[in-house]
Structure 1
């Protein structure tokens, strides 16, 4: 089972990957949106912002998200590590229910380019 520290490191790695990406991926990540990632098996939520092609995690708190972020993810810690590590394909994980993604229609269309 993944630890809180490993999940935080995975989010930092994802942020670095988004920031260094080019083309459509960079454009999709350039939005300024609030983001939360609830790690269900650890019952902790990382909250922050997607801005300038980076995810800035500003808070980690126990339980589900305190506020409704514009982009909301939920998954186990192991799935988060596997996604960021390239071992789990996001679209398949989302389609099978292993990952939950909630966002407005415009954000979903923009994020689709990241998949």
Structure 2
């Protein structure tokens, strides 16, 4: 099982990757709150998407987040490293996403 610090670092790594993708793709117009829930660690992180970038990342959950990912900490690290395919994780039940389907389509442009 990964540690909270490893997951926090991975969240910031994900934010850096999204920022690079947002710059390369003419900024995606999507303003949403985001939560990443890691039940095996009993922790969560949240932030917000702003112009295709993940900003204001902090510890703790946002129960009102418009986009929420729920997965195990090891799967989260594998996802961020690129060792776990997003679509396979979702289809295989390793990850759950609560989001508007239109938001998911927009997010695919960033990932």
TM range (shorter): 0.7 to 0.9
> Are 2:31 and 1:35 aligned?
no
Superposed CA offset, 1:26-76 (max 9, x none): 53xx41110000012101111111113321244323xxx452201010001
- 1:7 is aligned to 7
Which has the higher mean CA deviation after the structures are superposed, 10-19 or 104-113? 104-113
1:33-112 pair list within 5 angstroms: 33-61=32-60, 65-112=61-108
Q: Which blocks of at least 5 consecutive residues in structure 2 are unaligned?
A: none
Runs of 4+ displaced beyond 6 Å: none
Give the Cα–Cα distance (whole angstroms) in 2 for the partners of residues 58 and 92 of structure 1: 26
How well do the aligned residues superpose, as a CA RMSD in angstroms?
1.8
Give yes or no for contact 1:18–1:53 (8 Å, CA) kept in 2: yes
3-state secondary structure, aligned to 2:16: helix
Q: What's the TM-score, normalizing by structure 2? A: 0.86
Q: Measure the CA separation in 1 of the matches of 2:96 and 2:66.
A: 14
Q: What is the TM-score of this pair, normalised by structure 1?
A: 0.84
